[in-house]
Chain A
Amino acid sequence: MADTAVAERTLPTHSGVGEVIVETRNLTKVYKDFWGRKKKVALNALDLQIKRGEIFGLLGPNGSGKTTTIKLLLGLLFPTNGEATVFGLPAADVRKNERIGYLPEESYLYRFLNAEETLDFYGRLFDMPAEVRKQRAAELIRLVGLEPDRRRTLREYSKGMRQRIGLAQALINDPDFIILDEPTSGLDPLGTIWMKGLIRQLRKQGKTVLMCSHRLDDVQDVCDRIAILDNGDLQELGEVERLVEDQARVEVRATNLRLTDALRTDLEAVIGKHGGKLESFGHPTTTLEELFKKVVEESKARPGRRYLPPADGNGAPRS
């Protein structure tokens, strides 16, 4: 992409794996009132590094400092103390934005524009040539599935559609580092699945992603590393798999077996021999997300299919 080429000419670039994309040192933000009196410590001495190709999740309850961290990295807020660098440049330097894509929590876009105009406008902000803008906008509109609605103004869009066009604007410059604030907010389950697939796709392309979300399952599904913040303090930092691994339990999965009492007895004996204790025995459940996906896919494959509640009310489908 031409814009990426521009960015790479002007910014310090490193291609090595493990290159630090984001670094914060003692990053602190204290909100003050008009008279300069301290109101709230939103972020307290955060030390963090995010490396190239990572999907990094920021977790925490409301008011924990997630969004403040993102705003500080984007230069929307100025730190009270410490520093933040992105691509080796201070967060306040707008040149870093040439390689950043940002999807805000709500898609704060101009609702009087349609999808094409929106992407054209943001493309212009990157000084992209008209041809490139047009081509890139068409690609992204296709990517986010808004082709039939590309001429409708954003005020006519549903929340999910706005989130999709918001993502498209975040990707207009083919960024190396993408910040996603609640990316699945407003999306239906299929949209959520699509979004998570896209995030994984971005990782495959070598992009770095920083996301914050309240939906922990989403974070667990896609993130490599996470940081958990509470009350402005960093509470936990590490790889997702390591953090969620339950060392006290062992899970065994098997196929082609029937649940019988004999099997249970045998398993209890084997586990007991090794000093353990069987906690549960049964079929694993799938996730609601998987079920939803399966039902919708079947519906699309067989348009006449319709669920009719059985007379006994046990929920088994009739057809």
Chain B
Amino acid sequence: MASFAPLLGVMKFESEPLNFENWRRLAWLGIGWLQDAGGFAMVGLSLWILNGLINPVYDHLPDGRKRNRLVGPGMLLAAAVALTIYLVALGLNFLTAGDNPSTPRNPFLGIPLTKMETALELTLALAGLVAIIGFGGPFVRDCLRLRWGRIYAIAKLSFKEAVRRRVVWVFLSILVLYLFPARWFFQEKPEDELKSIIGVTTRGMNVLLISVGLLLAAFSIPTDIKNLTIHTIVTKPVERFEIVFGRFLGYLSLVTAALIVMTAFGLLLINAGNVSPEAEEESYKARVARYGDLEFRSKKTADFTGIDVGREDSYRKYIAGHPETSQRAIWNFADFPNSFTKMDYVPLEFAFDIYRTTKGEEGVGVSVSFELLTHRWDPSKEDEFNRAMQGLTNVRPEDANWKKVDDLAEKYGRYVYRNWQIFDYHTSAIPVPAGLFRNAAQGTPSAQGPLHRMKPGPAPRVQVLAKCETPSQFIGAARYDLYFLESEGNFSLNYFKGAFGLWFRLVIAIAISVACSTYLAGVLSFLAAMFLFIGGFFLDFINELARGANVGGGPLESLARLIKNSTATVELDPTPTVKTIQVFDTFYRWLLRRVMNVIPDVDRYGLTDYVAQGFSVGPDFILLNLITLAAYVLPWLVAAYYLMKAREIAA
């Protein structure tokens, strides 16, 4: 999700990070989960019922009746209801096919949908929910019977086993990364030194801990079955899922302990090492940033969304530079912390990409001016403001005139900083007088105020307008390229919080591995878990294939192009053969979309970039990732529960 933009000292987000403020997006995630997990639950439910009816296991009730232990009436009812709702959804699917672009659309949780589309989404989610209740019900019921004493015993056994088999010695190999610092091997700028250290050691820890976790977890239950040691466990009053859960927790606690030790050791070395002052300035901090919403504006183009300069990476949009240009990159801040009003000044940090159409002057950067407005700014007072600001342009807080600037910002709700030289590779900051925020904090912003927005959204209290002054140069901006610095936290604490990202990945790796091992042999479990996990790093690419967004079509179409020697961008003639292979490719894409749901989004949990770039990892961010992690891991655990339950241990 977040990835390091090596040329810029800011976070780069391939997709919007989750936060509690965007509750609509969270709601959609919930609906998506119900649909996806519900689909799998329906398949599982059907297979389980089929198995339970073909190979029933009967309990004899005191009244002489028999009861099928595997398939209860609740499960049958849930399956029937879910199936009925799925059939309704199928009908709605046909009806939505009749929708055309002119069909009225109303925003549903922020996304414009027709009535039929909304009904379809909700029906699929409802069907999924019923299937999840039917399939997950026995799991939840049996979970209530779990005894922590037994789970602890199995977890402790797993831990002890790994320690006594000297697996922990493998973890010492991480020392190699610390003994041979990254700067010995990589030519880097002084300010990037800490980033490299953090990046290299974290990658090392990733590989080491995840591979050990995968291996241990994949071989645990199969080895127990092979050595028959499991016979002495399942013949005790142990629920089978307790074995799975105990193994999972045992190995997780082992790698967690290793992670804590490694993280502490890494931190010790960073603190004890001679990190350059430039690197400390860049990364040895934990910035708490306040981001705004980005939009672009130009007088010439009404729906201006920034210029695409043709770079392969379309993450940033550009504005052209000229003293007379009307193009602006605008950040709207709907809110800000009250502490801003009490500070001497609030740092506004930014780092833009520069796209040059001429070489420019050596040692001279690109000039950018900033204009900050509050919702109480009165445009009719512009001349008055300009007169008042005479001789006060670009005053720094240490200057005696700063008080005047602060007062003017508070009085008018406007602040201007002109011609700041920006350079590639460096995060810059300008001071913003706190008076501006005191002004902005008053009253309630309205859509009719001076800070009108191009895109729908809450009326901003503060608006930051960036303008490129240097002719024939462009600056590229993305939402996270500019922010107010709320505070700076403790780097060491942030370093530990960053380790959560790796811990999330470890949970995923061990959960998949243990779940696979309930059915597959050790080697197969390891390979399956490893492929799924590695697949997580290519999820964006797989997503592209699954949506058919890649150039050249699906596998059969690509093969046809190879045979015909046709280029990928040329449309193929709609011959019967081409139509047939496209139908197969459609099925392939459908299949890939299902597979995609099984692949973990491991990239989402990479928090190291936050630490390396010197940004604080917020507790809400960790909490949200924890929720998505639970949502991913839970279906695996349910699958493991059923696989273990259905397994003949001694067969």
Residues in chain B near residue A90, CB distance under 8 A? 57-60, 69
Query: A116-136 vs B: 1/0 string, CB under 8 Å?
Result: 010001101111000000000
Across the interface, B152 reaches (CB within 8 A) one of A85, A92, A94, A124, namely A124
Across the interface, A112 reaches (CB within 8 A) one of B60, B149, B161, B237, namely B161
Give Cα A102–Cα B232 distance, bound, in whole angstroms.
7
21 of the cross-chain contacts (CB-CB < 8 Å) are A31-B651, A74-B234, A76-B235, A76-B648, A76-B649, A78-B55, A90-B69, A97-B237, A102-B231, A102-B235, A108-B227, A108-B231, A108-B232, A110-B229, A112-B164, A122-B236, A125-B237, A125-B238, A127-B147, A127-B150, A166-B232
Given contacts A93-B59, A112-B164, list 5 more A-B pairs with CB under 8 A: A31-B651, A76-B650, A90-B58, A108-B227, A127-B237
CB distance from B49 to the nearest CB of A (A): 17
- Let me know if B157 is at the binding interface, CB within 8 A: yes
Residues in chain A near residue B147, CB distance under 8 A? 127
B237 touches A98 (CB 8 A): yes
- Let me know if B269 is at the binding interface, CB within 8 A: no
Residues in chain A near residue B237, CB distance under 8 A? 94-95, 97-98, 125-127
- Let me know if B160 is at the binding interface, CB within 8 A: yes
Give Cα A71–Cα B149 distance, bound, in whole angstroms.
26
With contacts A76-B234, A78-B57 taken as known, whether A110 is within 8 angstroms of B161 at the C-beta atoms is yes
Across the interface, B650 reaches (CB within 8 A) one of A77, A92, A97, A117, namely A77
B positions within 8 Å CB-CB of A: 55, 57-60, 69, 147, 149-150, 152-153, 156-157, 160-161, 164-165, 227-229, 231-240, 648-651
**What residue of chain A has the Cβ atom nearest to residue B147's Cβ?**
A127
Residues in chain B near residue A112, CB distance under 8 A? 160-161, 164-165
With contacts A83-B60, A92-B57 taken as known, whether A125 is within 8 angstroms of B648 at the C-beta atoms is no
Residues in chain A near residue B229, CB distance under 8 A? 108-110
**What residue of chain A has the Cβ atom nearest to residue B242's Cβ?**
A125
With contacts A76-B648, A108-B228 taken as known, whether A94 is within 8 angstroms of B161 at the C-beta atoms is no
Residues in chain B near residue A125, CB distance under 8 A? 150, 153, 233, 236-238
- Let me know if A113 is at the binding interface, CB within 8 A: yes
Residues in chain B near residue A85, CB distance under 8 A? 60
CB distance from B50 to the nearest CB of A (A): 13
CB distance from B213 to the nearest CB of A (A): 20
**What residue of chain B has the Cβ atom nearest to residue A106's Cβ?**
B228
Residues in chain A near residue B648, CB distance under 8 A? 76-78
**What residue of chain A has the Cβ atom nearest to residue B55's Cβ?**
A78
**What residue of chain A has the Cβ atom nearest to residue B163's Cβ?**
A112
Give Cα A85–Cα B60 distance, bound, in whole angstroms.
10
Residues in chain B near residue A206, CB distance under 8 A? none
- Let me know if A22 is at the binding interface, CB within 8 A: no
With contacts A76-B650, A112-B164 taken as known, whether A94 is within 8 angstroms of B239 at the C-beta atoms is yes
Give chain A interface residues in 38-83, CB to chain B under 8 Å.
71, 74-78, 83
Give Cα A85–Cα B650 distance, bound, in whole angstroms.
18
CB distance from B179 to the nearest CB of A (A): 31
Residues in chain B near residue A109, CB distance under 8 A? 229, 232
Give Cα A76–Cα B231 distance, bound, in whole angstroms.
7
B149 touches A124 (CB 8 A): yes
Residues in chain A near residue B650, CB distance under 8 A? 71, 76-77
Residues in chain B near residue A74, CB distance under 8 A? 231, 234-235
- Let me know if A100 is at the binding interface, CB within 8 A: yes
- Let me know if A104 is at the binding interface, CB within 8 A: yes
B150 touches A104 (CB 8 A): no
- Let me know if A28 is at the binding interface, CB within 8 A: no
CB distance from A173 to the nearest CB of B (A): 8
Residues in chain A near residue B234, CB distance under 8 A? 74-76, 94
- Let me know if A169 is at the binding interface, CB within 8 A: yes
Instruction: Sort chain A's interface into a size bin.
Output: 35 or more
Give chain A interface residues in 1-38, CB to chain B under 8 Å.
31
Residues in chain A near residue B235, CB distance under 8 A? 74-76, 97, 100, 102
With contacts A71-B650, A124-B153 taken as known, whether A169 is within 8 angstroms of B232 at the C-beta atoms is yes
Residues in chain B near residue A121, CB distance under 8 A? 153, 156-157
Give chain A interface residues in 208-256, CB to chain B under 8 Å.
none
**What residue of chain B has the Cβ atom nearest to residue A104's Cβ?**
B231
**What residue of chain A has the Cβ atom nearest to residue B162's Cβ?**
A112
CB distance from B156 to the nearest CB of A (A): 8
**What residue of chain A has the Cβ atom nearest to residue B235's Cβ?**
A102
Residues in chain A near residue B150, CB distance under 8 A? 124-125, 127
Give Cα A121–Cα B157 distance, bound, in whole angstroms.
8
Give Cα A155–Cα B57 distance, bound, in whole angstroms.
39
Give Cα A92–Cα B234 distance, bound, in whole angstroms.
10
Give chain A interface residues in 187-206, CB to chain B under 8 Å.
none
A127 touches B232 (CB 8 A): no
B236 touches A97 (CB 8 A): yes
**What residue of chain B has the Cβ atom nearest to residue A96's Cβ?**
B237
Residues in chain B near residue A92, CB distance under 8 A? 57, 69
Give Cα A173–Cα B164 distance, bound, in whole angstroms.
27
Give Cα A217–Cα B230 distance, bound, in whole angstroms.
31
Give Cα A71–Cα B156 distance, bound, in whole angstroms.
27
Residues in chain B near residue A106, CB distance under 8 A? 228
Give Cα A97–Cα B150 distance, bound, in whole angstroms.
14
Residues in chain A near residue B238, CB distance under 8 A? 94, 97, 125
Give Cα A89–Cα B186 distance, bound, in whole angstroms.
68
Give Cα A264–Cα B164 distance, bound, in whole angstroms.
70
CB distance from A139 to the nearest CB of B (A): 19
CB distance from A286 to the nearest CB of B (A): 38
CB distance from A313 to the nearest CB of B (A): 48
Give Cα A127–Cα B146 distance, bound, in whole angstroms.
11
**What residue of chain A has the Cβ atom nearest to residue B227's Cβ?**
A108
Give Cα A183–Cα B69 distance, bound, in whole angstroms.
33
CB distance from B153 to the nearest CB of A (A): 4
Residues in chain B near residue A98, CB distance under 8 A? 237
Give Cα A78–Cα B156 distance, bound, in whole angstroms.
30
CB distance from A54 to the nearest CB of B (A): 20
CB distance from B145 to the nearest CB of A (A): 9
Give Cα A113–Cα B160 distance, bound, in whole angstroms.
9
Residues in chain B near residue A77, CB distance under 8 A? 648-651
Give Cα A92–Cα B58 distance, bound, in whole angstroms.
10
CB distance from A218 to the nearest CB of B (A): 22
* Those 10 A-B pairs whose CB atoms lie nearest each other, nearest first: A124-B153, A76-B650, A125-B236, A112-B164, A108-B228, A102-B235, A97-B237, A71-B650, A98-B237, A127-B149
CB distance from B417 to the nearest CB of A (A): 67
Give Cα A125–Cα B239 distance, bound, in whole angstroms.
10
Which of A90, A102, A108: most chain B Cβ within 10 A?
A: A108
**What residue of chain A has the Cβ atom nearest to residue B238's Cβ?**
A125
Give Cα A108–Cα B228 distance, bound, in whole angstroms.
6
Which of B60, B228, B234, B235: most chain A Cβ within 10 A?
A: B235
B160 touches A104 (CB 8 A): no
CB distance from A164 to the nearest CB of B (A): 15
CB distance from B354 to the nearest CB of A (A): 61
Give Cα A127–Cα B228 distance, bound, in whole angstroms.
22
**What residue of chain B has the Cβ atom nearest to residue A3's Cβ?**
B237
Give Cα A245–Cα B234 distance, bound, in whole angstroms.
40
